Amino acid sequence: MDIRGPSGHLVDIDQLRTTAPSQSLRRLSELSAGHGGSHPGNLDGADDPVVYEVFEWTTGSTPTDLLCAVTVLYSSPDPEQPFHTRGHFHRDPDGGELVVGLEGTGRLELLSRQGEVRPVAIDPLTWAQVPPGWAHRVTNLGPVPLVFLSSCSAVVGHDYEGVPKEPWVDDLLGRET
């Protein structure tokens, strides 16, 4: 069974922009430390390109409600400096997360409070788990947008304090694993 739509993609980004109730994006300048800040635009030719867009749905706002998010992480024009999401801890120390790759390839990166880093490959229709208490970000290691779905408690909360902006993984090493 082929579950791709008429465009040949699992995910229709234009439709997400039309239908998702909550939407946000991050530009290169907001993520600067690991990105150098001098890439050509990848989305609209701007000097400060969109690195990723996030589309979110929630079932409510209690601890038993769920958050579902689709992130579209664009491909960097410089393979030496792949695009990644900012990365965060959850404010709820018991709040884990499920990550499912939809399109493209890359890496989920887990970072403990003690500085341990665990890379996990992200491929289409593969899943990975963020254990409670670990910071997490995703890096796009391919030539096309990396689209992934995340699911966690709706009230898990995002904590960006103490999360380094610099790369957590040596990307040349990361691609060999």
Stretch that binds ligand S6P, among 14-22, 40-48, 83-91, 105-113 (CB under 6 A): 83-91
Is residue 71 a contact point for ligand S6P (CB under 6 A)? yes
Considering only CA atoms, which of 133, 128, 131, 117 is closest in space to residue 170?
Answer: 117
One residue of 51, 69, 141, 169 binding ligand S6P per CB under 6 A: 69
Interface characters, 104-143, with ligand S6P (x: CB under 6 A): --------------------------------xx------
- Smallest distance, Å, CB 72 to ligand S6P? 9
Q: Which residues of this chain interact with ligand S6P, rule CB under 6 A?
A: 26, 54, 69, 71, 85-88, 97, 136-137, 150, 152, 158
